[in-house]
Every structure is written in structure tokens, then in C-alpha cells.
Amino acid sequence: MPNNSPPDLIRSRLREPADPALAKASVSVDFDKRLAPYDLAGSLAHAKMLGQVGLVSEEDLRLMIHGLQELSVEVAEGRFEWRAELEDVHMNLEKALTDRIGPAGARLHTARSRNDQVALDERLYLKDVVGKISRLIWELREALVKKAGEVKDTPMPGYTHLQRAQPVLLAHHFLAYYEMLTRDSGRLGDLEKRLHEMPLGSGALSGTGLPIKPELVAQELGFPDLSGNSLDAVASRDLLMEFLAFGAILAVHLSRLAEDMILWCSAEFNLAELPDSLTTSSSMMPQKKNPDGAELLRGKTGRTIGNLVTLLTVVKGLPMSYNRDLQEDKEPLFDTADTLELILPLAKAQVTGLKFNKSRLTELADDPYTPATDLADSLVLKGVPFREAHRQVGALVAYCVEKKISLAETEAEVLKRFCPQAEPDILKRLTLFQLLAARDKTPGGTAPKTVQLRLTRAKEMLAEEKDRRGAG
């Protein structure tokens, strides 16, 4: 198919047209057309700079600006006709510009390669996505804090190994997710700090000999710095990896939250219920109320992990500098961004909609054997080495389990037999309220007054972040 369309446009050195199999594999426009608004913004800034340094005439610059603006409108309105035979978003837009404005369009690619062009497009895209996702995380964190406030006084059984361990406050449980998501948000903020370098001017790999001023492009596009190494600028994808790693970690957090909700809403746990609007029924079993939203939150996590692994694998072992393998970076990038934009609001709706069975939570929190640790601790205060106290109380629990009585029901003389140093009325004093209240020794404990402090701090942080964003 030797016609004058790219990639033939750039195949003058080659004597044969591309093999159809290669031509087909080369196409990326189906997915990279999403970069069009960023590509056009980059081209506009580049064209202006070419005009300023005199590499294109004023008249050509006028034509370029007009043509690029026209293309932006067409792309935004979905009227632009993408052509697979033009391979990628960059060639499509450049060809369309040249078709419209003639030779001036053919000057746009002066001192530029698709290698630095795509690196720029991806940074611009990431800047946008980072902003959107950090707002969505903020909203979910706010929902978690609100829910924690709503259930402030409700205790629940705390688990390790999914076995009842010690009572905690339900608010403490929600604030645990708040902490995870606050760190996720911090990770995104770190990435944002590293998005400050503008790569255009790196050319295909070595820079350019033409008298350009990349700092003008950077200024126009809002980048404070320029890439410090042209090879790195076109070859590296670690910023994308960082985003995908951040996304996978965040999704794993949401998946754990989803799993908690799924367990809580089962008849076996019966700790919580989702509103009908957040559940589905079965095509066969009319009685079913299924937590599909939570399951999808959990299920969507798989692809975010896959996307990270895909990109790491694509880049691993690539020789310096640009290699076409790197074209495979986009689908994982877009997919993780889309997935996060989908699941963050879903998680927020789930958290907000959840209703708790408070009496059952309180009842289960008051487990017959959870005072065991505090009983052992009371012996420690009497001078018994902790390991010995642990042994004594373990033996007492085994006795109670066999006799089918709770620790609180233990007779004073039985207690004395197993734990000679124990205060006779200690078991009466180790109430649920006391177990919770005692956990005020560390800033992260579950004592109601400690949790209240954390709740207040979380609200302040959210408000500060909102103000900062409003101001920024």
C-alpha cells in the first residue's frame, strides 16, 4: 500500500511498504487518541516557541495556532476522524493539521520527536488525573470520617486471624481505613512533585541542534523545570510505574474495606446492612440481596495489580533509550486511572450507605474471653512476669471453656487457684467499657477519648487540605 499517508510519510528511507501484519500491530490510535487534548496543548506551546525563536514565520505560526485550535474543538466535540493507518494520535493530528494548513503544518514537528512528544503528553495527562483522583480520595476519606463520627460509641469485636481478639470501637475501624487512604493520598502527592520536568526538546534521544527555547514551552504549560537528561526523558516510565503502584496499593485498601463489608453483611456475621440501592438480586433466587458493589470493588483490584505488573515487565530489560515496546505503557495507565475513578465513588457510596446492627456489635464485642489479655496485664502489675501471667490465664480460659462459663462467671476460689496473685474482684472490673477505656496509653489506641482525638484531628486535616486546594 505505497500511498502518501504516514507511516509512509516517514518511510522514505524504506523501499517497501509496511507489511500488513506490522502495520496492524503498530496501531495505537484506538487507545492513545485519549491523549489528543494534551498532544494539542503540547503542540500549541511548541508552535508558539518555534515562532518566538524564529524557526517558523509569523504567518505560519498564525496558521498553526488557528489549525490546532480548530482540531481541539473537533476532538472535544467527537467530530475528529481518527485513521488507523496513521498509527497514533501524534501522526493523526499532525497529518490533519497539514491537510488543512499546508506546508506550515509540516513545520510543526521541527525539533521534536514523537519520543519526547509522547513523554510530554503522558505527563500532562498524569497531572490531570492526579488532580481528579486526589479529590476523589479526599471525598472517600471524608465519608469514612463521617461514618466514624456517626458510630462513635459503638464497640465491635476486633479480629486477628478473623477470630475475635479484643474489643475495639467501630469508629476506630473506619479510621484505620482513613489512615491508609491518607497515606495513599500522600503517595499521589509525592508523584505530583516529580511531575515538574518538561521533556520536550529531548528530541528522539539526544536533544536538538536547532536553536529552540524549551523553557518557553515549559512556562506555557506550567512546568517549573526542564528534563535534566534527554535519554532519561524519552526512555523512562517510572512516573507511570509510580502511579500504577499507587493505584494498586489504593485498590488493595479498598478491596479490604469491601471484604469487611461483605463479611459484615452476611447472615452469619449479621453486623451491618447495605441499602437496597447498593445491592443486587439474583436472576434465579428472588430472595437474594447481594453486595455486588463491594464485590466489584474487590474484583476490580485485580486489574490494577495486573497493570502495574504489565508496565514493569514491558520496561524491564529495555536497552537505553526509547524502544517501541514503550507504546504498551498506555493501556495499563488509562485502565488504572479509569478504574480508580470508578471505584473511589463506589467505595464512598458503600461507606455512606452502610447501616449497623449496633446491639449485635455490642453483644459480640462483649466476648466471654476477650478480657484475658487485661487479666494477664493485671497480674503483671502485681509483679508476675508476663509470660507466666499468660500461661496462668490461658489455663484458666481452657478451664472456663470446658465448664462452659465466661471469665466473668469464674468463682473467686477458681481464679485464686489459676492466678494466685489476681485481685479477687478483678474479673468484675474488666468490663467491656473498661477494656476499651484502658487503651488510652498510645495515640493510636481504641479508647473512646483517644479515638475522639483522632476523629477531631482527621476532620481538621480534611478541612486544611480543602482550604489548601481551594487556595491552590
* Nearer CB in complex with ligand ARG: 118/261: 118
Q: Which of 202, 327, 350, 450 binds ligand ARG (CB under 6 A)?
A: 327
Q: List residues with catalytic annotation.
A: 161, 282
Is it true that the peptide bond before 7 is cis, omega within 30 degrees of 0?
A: yes
Give bridge partners of residue 166 from the DSSP assignment.
158
* Nearer CB in complex with ligand ARG: 118/308: 118
State which amino acid sits at residue 422: A
* Nearer CB in complex with ligand ARG: 101/326: 326
Mark the segment that binds ligand ARG (CB under 6 A) among 165-173, 323-331, 404-412, 462-470: 323-331
CB 7, min distance to ligand ARG, A: 9
Q: How many CA atoms lie within 13 A of 455 on its CB side?
A: 24
Could you give the CA distance from residue 58 to residue 42 in angstroms, rounded to a whole number? 19
CB 135, min distance to ligand ARG, A: 28
Question: Between residue 27 and residue 66, which ones bind ligand ARG under the rule CB under 6 A?
Answer: 28
Binding to ligand ARG by residue 92, rule CB under 6 A? no
* Nearer CB in complex with ligand ARG: 88/184: 88
* H or E element that contains 353: helix 330-353
CB 221, min distance to ligand ARG, A: 19
Exposure string over 28-59, b if 16+ CB within 10 A, otherwise e: bbebbbbbbebbbbbbbbbbbbbbeeebbeee
Question: Between residue 191 and residue 210, which ones bind ligand ARG under the rule CB under 6 A?
Answer: none
Binding to ligand ARG by residue 321, rule CB under 6 A? no
Q: Which of 47, 96, 101, 118 binds ligand ARG (CB under 6 A)?
A: 118
Say which DSSP state 358 is in.
H
CB 306, min distance to ligand ARG, A: 20
Mark the segment that binds ligand ARG (CB under 6 A) among 11-19, 131-139, 246-254, 319-327: 319-327
Helices (H), 18-169: 20-26, 29-32, 36-52, 58-76, 89-101, 114-150
Handedness of CA 272, 275, 278, 279 (dihedral sign): positive
Binding to ligand ARG by residue 88, rule CB under 6 A? yes
Q: Which of 34, 112, 114, 439 binds ligand ARG (CB under 6 A)?
A: 114
Question: Between residue 254 and residue 273, which ones bind ligand ARG under the rule CB under 6 A?
Answer: none
CB 144, min distance to ligand ARG, A: 38
Helices (H), 404-447: 412-418, 426-429, 432-437
Binding to ligand ARG by residue 109, rule CB under 6 A? no
What is the grid cell recorded at 1?
500500500
* Nearer CB in complex with ligand ARG: 136/314: 314
At 16, phi and psi to the nearest 5? -125, 150
* Nearer CB in complex with ligand ARG: 254/333: 333
CB 118, min distance to ligand ARG, A: 4
Give bridge partners of residue 273 from the DSSP assignment.
355
Q: In terms of DSSP bridges, do strands 355-356 and 272-273 run parallel, antiparallel, or are they unpaired? A: antiparallel
* Nearer CB in complex with ligand ARG: 205/408: 205
Q: Which of 200, 326, 372, 415 binds ligand ARG (CB under 6 A)?
A: 326
* Nearer CB in complex with ligand ARG: 86/343: 86
Binding to ligand ARG by residue 115, rule CB under 6 A? yes
Exposure string over 404-439, b if 16+ CB within 10 A, otherwise e: eebbeebeeeebeebbeebeeebbeebebeebbeeb
Question: Between residue 1 and residue 30, which ones bind ligand ARG under the rule CB under 6 A?
Answer: 28
CB 24, min distance to ligand ARG, A: 14
Could you give the CA distance from residue 384 to residue 232 in angstroms, rounded to a whole number? 62
Q: How many residues bind ligand ARG (CB under 6 A)?
A: 9
CA distances from 229 to 117, 199, 232, 255, 299 (A): 15, 9, 5, 39, 40
CB 238, min distance to ligand ARG, A: 16
Q: Which of 132, 324, 449, 469 binds ligand ARG (CB under 6 A)?
A: 324
> 273-281: long-range contacts (C-beta < 8 A, 24 or more apart)?
273/354, 273/355, 273/357, 274/350, 274/353, 274/354, 274/355, 275/353, 275/355, 277/353, 278/349, 278/350, 278/353
CB atoms within 10 A of CB 114: 21
Residues in contact with ligand ARG by the rule CB under 6 A: 28, 88, 114-115, 118, 322, 324, 326-327
